[in-house]
C-alpha cells in the first residue's frame, strides 16, 4: 500500500513523463487531424446540382399542360434580337452554361438591382467562355435595339457574352412561362399582359434548368455563382 509520500512522488514522476513527451503528443495530434482531413477531402462526394422539372415548381408558375411533366424538360428554341441588332437563337448558347432573367429598361424598382447583380456574375466569369448571360426585355415594344444597346453600354455588357434581347412579345412571354417558369402562368403576351419577375434561372449545356435564384438578393447571387462553378467542374470531369 502506497504511503502519502510515495503517492506524491509517483504523481510527480508521471507529470515529468507526460511533460517530456507533450511535444511529441501535440505533433502526433496535429498530424492525425491533417491526415483525417486529407482523406475526407479526397473521398467526399462533389456537390451536384439537381435538374429541375416542371412538376417541381409551384403550380401557379407552370402552364397546366406542363404541370405533370417529371422529366426531359428543356428550354425551347427561340429567335430574338440582341442589343447589336443580331438575331440570337439557341445556337448561340450551344455547349454553354448561362444565367437568364427578364427585365425592362424603364423599370425603376427591382430591375436596376437585378442588372447590377448580372454585372457581378459577368465579372466573376469574364474570362470563361463557357459562361454566358441572357436578359429578355418584357416591354419589347419600348425596348428597341437602340435603347437596348444604350442600356447594355451603361452596364458594361460584354459583346458576345451578355445578350440583352428584344423581339416578339408573345415569344418572350412564352419563354418566361413555359421554358423558364419565372412568372405566373396566366397571360397570353398580349398588349395588357405584363411579366415582372425577380427570378434568375441557371441553364446547363443541355438546356436544362439547374437553379433558380432571387435576382434581388445578394446572398442568392453568391449561391448562383457557386452553382455555376459546380456545373463547370461537372463538365470538366466529363472531359477527363
**Residue 28 predicted with pLDDT over 70:** no
- Around 121, how many Cα atoms within 13 Å sit in the side-chain half-sphere? 37
The pLDDT assigned to 77 comes to 96
pLDDT bin (cut points 50, 70, 90) of residue 22 is low
* pLDDT tens, residue by residue, 29-55: 566 556 655 554 555 567 889 999 999
Beta bridge pairs of residue 127:
none
φ/ψ (deg, to 5) at 221: -70, -40
Structure confidence by residue, pLDDT tens digits, 122-170 = 999 999 999 999 999 999 999 999 999 999 999 999 999 999 999 999 9
CB atoms within 10 A of CB 110: 15
pLDDT of amino acid 15: 66
DSSP string, 92-145: GGTT-EEEEEEE-TT--SSHHHHHHHHHHHHHHTTT-TTEEEEEEES-TTT--H
- Greater model confidence, 150 or 3: 150
Distances in Å between the Cα of 203 and the Cα atoms of 22, 31, 127, 210, 213 are 55, 43, 19, 6, 12
Of 163, 171, 160, whose CA–CA distance to 129 is shortest?
160
Q: Are 88 and 81 in contact (CB under 8 A)?
A: yes
Pull the grid cell for residue 7: 503517492
pLDDT for 73 beyond 90: yes
For the record, the C-alpha cell of 176 comes out as 418566361
59 or 7, which is more confident: 59
CB 205 within 8 A of CB 19: no
pLDDT tens string 227-237: 999 999 999 99
Amino acid at each position: 500500500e502506497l504511503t502519502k509520500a510515495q503517492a506524491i512522488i509517483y504523481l510527480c514522476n508521471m507529470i515529468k513523463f507526460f511533460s517530456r513527451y507533450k511535444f511529441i503528443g501535440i505533433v502526433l495530434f496535429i498530424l492525425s487531424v491533417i491526415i483525417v482531413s486529407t482523406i475526407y477531402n479526397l473521398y467526399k462526394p462533389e456537390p451536384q446540382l439537381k435538374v429541375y422539372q416542371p412538376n417541381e415548381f409551384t403550380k401557379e408558375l407552370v402552364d397546366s399542360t406542363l404541370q405533370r411533366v417529371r422529366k426531359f424538360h428543356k428550354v425551347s428554341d427561340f429567335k430574338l434580337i440582341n442589343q447589336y441588332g443580331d438575331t440570337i437563337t439557341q445556337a448561340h448558347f450551344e455547349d454553354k452554361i448561362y444565367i437568364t432573367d427578364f427585365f425592362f429598361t424603364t423599370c425603376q424598382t427591382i430591375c436596376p438591382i437585378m442588372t447590377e447583380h448580372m454585372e457581378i456574375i459577368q465579372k466573376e466569369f469574364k474570362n470563361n467562355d463557357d459562361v454566358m448571360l441572357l436578359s429578355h426585355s418584357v416591354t419589347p415594344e419600348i425596348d428597341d435595339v437602340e435603347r437596348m444597346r444604350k442600356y447594355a453600354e451603361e452596364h458594361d455588357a460584354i459583346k458576345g457574352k451578355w445578350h440583352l434581347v428584344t423581339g416578339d412579345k408573345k415569344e418572350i412571354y412564352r419563354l418566361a412561362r413555359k421554358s423558364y417558369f419565372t412568372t405566373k402562368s396566366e397571360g397570353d403576351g398580349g398588349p395588357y399582359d405584363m411579366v415582372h419577375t425577380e427570378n434568375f434561372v441557371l441553364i446547363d449545356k443541355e438546356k436544362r434548368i439547374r437553379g433558380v435564384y432571387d435576382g434581388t438578393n445578394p446572398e442568392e447571387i453568391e449561391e448562383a455563382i457557386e452553382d455555376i462553378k459546380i456545373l463547370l467542374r461537372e463538365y470538366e470531369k466529363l472531359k477527363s
